[in-house]
Structure 1
């Protein structure tokens, strides 16, 4: 039997201490479309996302992420991952089909860092209502209907105060992630890694930061726009709505253009993202950055993330 594989990043389940503000931010400012609302949970996606949702929002005490979801390549991969994980002593929870709207049977489990992942294959791909539907058969919604209007969900960036090596090994060996670029300290430890299961430079970034108040943290989620003009337009929209942001700038690692803004309801940081490069080489060798080069890796040019970043990082549940 072929080794199970993850196909793509699926969704993030976010809890907000001010749901009304979060819905305003993600729907009206960022411009995500609501697929449905059920039992107090709102399910959103970008105009180019196909599956039921890429972000869910619900009310709760403080900003939290319940789990990060990933879609497998084949239906049988869900069970195959379960068997591999349980063989390695990982506690795996079964989630019945339909527990989360639009998603079939899934499994949930913790990374060594404590972050909760969910794997599933079966998804619904609901069509948009007629007044929101694109005339293009290969596109879900009309583009530019409102707000920033990014095309699709792109990646997540998570942090930990634990030994990152355990989680890097887990992501590679158990889940099949490939290291694309990384930062190594003077003692030889990998402190930050950009990893993917697709041709993207990263579907997931994982960074060790000893000063964090808890081991499992979310730094940001990211939505992709088509080009640099979209990011400049996003800056205008954020400014008009009274939101502070970091950027625009360009990362050295990934070579992508970025802009960061905080959801005022949950405290979740959102990166608006474009550019960069894709990896098609089967023998790609991970790119190493040293601590001395880290500033260049983070910010090739533009507004520096580390200079203005605060500690309002979303807590993983």
Structure 2
């Protein structure tokens, strides 16, 4: 990232993903009743959801549409001025930036939207409402927790990461994220021709706030591989498998990744077709001099699946949905 300001703009964390579902009723059943997300509100057909441990207005929004897609992936800036400063840096880098006025997305202040070289749509914001939960049926007795835990469904604690996919070169996305948005590579896969084919990157202490995967079998250069919600421990993931089974939702796992060292179960929203990873454990990166971990394709039997059902097995694990819907649609 080029130095243009006394303090470079920074991204603080992953904010939310906005989905379009061609069967809204099924998507809401899956995310609210089976997964157990809480609904903050519904405005003009957009349903805003968050986990019981999420503090902002929403970490997921869902609206109806003729084709399933991802409207945008949003990131929270570290400082209010960073939103405009990112706009300046991105425009200087030749990126088209669209300004989104406060209130266009319920609960959110001014923001910017733009495309990655792959066509994925990103949003950067700073201001976001933190609604107070007042209903005693929903409100936790803990002052540092908005909702009651374990009130319904799988009940993950918080939004964790996104994984985007492309049929183009992963390195184009990885370089853009590093040079323009300040993401750091934590682990990556290198092919025999020295091309980076996947990378796990973060701006926080997490192993990844975002992962990037390339494969020529993907339909476009701008796909969403999965979104992920985090639970406290491995037992929560086993409990999630029981709940998915009881509700007739097919899943892949449980298992443990070598890369990230996380426990997982993957399930697919029957409405939008988006894949959800239910995720736990993993490790934190607190060292400022962290050296990215390189993996080869030959090591992926352990890298993707340390043990358990193969993460790449089954139809669910090979499905992606379009993550390149037009920005103009997203801000109407």
Fold agreement, TM-score > 0.5: yes
Match of 1:39 in 2: 44
Residue 17 in 1 paired to residue 22 in 2? yes
How does the TM-score come out when normalised to structure 2? 0.94
3-state SS of 1:306 partner: coil
- Deviation at 1:309? 3.8
Match of 2:139 in 1: 133
Counterpart-to-counterpart distance in 1, 2:172 and 2:221: 13
Deviations 1:181-239 (A, max 9, x none): 00000011100000000000000000111111111000100000000111111111000
3-state SS of 2:181 partner: coil
- Deviation at 1:312? 3.0
- Deviation at 1:165? 1.5
- Deviation at 1:169? 0.9
Residue 236 in 1 paired to residue 242 in 2? yes
Deviations 1:6-64 (A, max 9, x none): 00000000000000000000000000000000000000000000000000000001210
Counterpart-to-counterpart distance in 2, 1:47 and 1:80: 32
How does the TM-score come out when normalised to structure 1? 0.99
Aligned pairs for 1:223-262 (under 5 A) are: 223-262=229-268
3-state SS of 1:186 partner: coil
Counterpart-to-counterpart distance in 2, 1:175 and 1:127: 31
Match of 1:114 in 2: 119
Aligned pairs for 1:109-258 (under 5 A) are: 109-130=114-135, 131-258=137-264
Counterpart-to-counterpart distance in 2, 1:82 and 1:117: 12
Please report the RMSD computed on the Cα atoms of aligned residues, expressed in angstroms.
0.8
3-state SS of 1:83 partner: helix
- Deviation at 1:93? 0.2
Q: How many residues align?
A: 317
Match of 2:35 in 1: 30
Match of 2:96 in 1: 91
**Unpaired runs of 5+ in structure 2?**
1-5, 326-332
3-state SS of 1:305 partner: coil
Counterpart-to-counterpart distance in 2, 1:290 and 1:312: 23
Counterpart-to-counterpart distance in 1, 2:148 and 2:208: 27
Counterpart-to-counterpart distance in 2, 1:164 and 1:22: 30
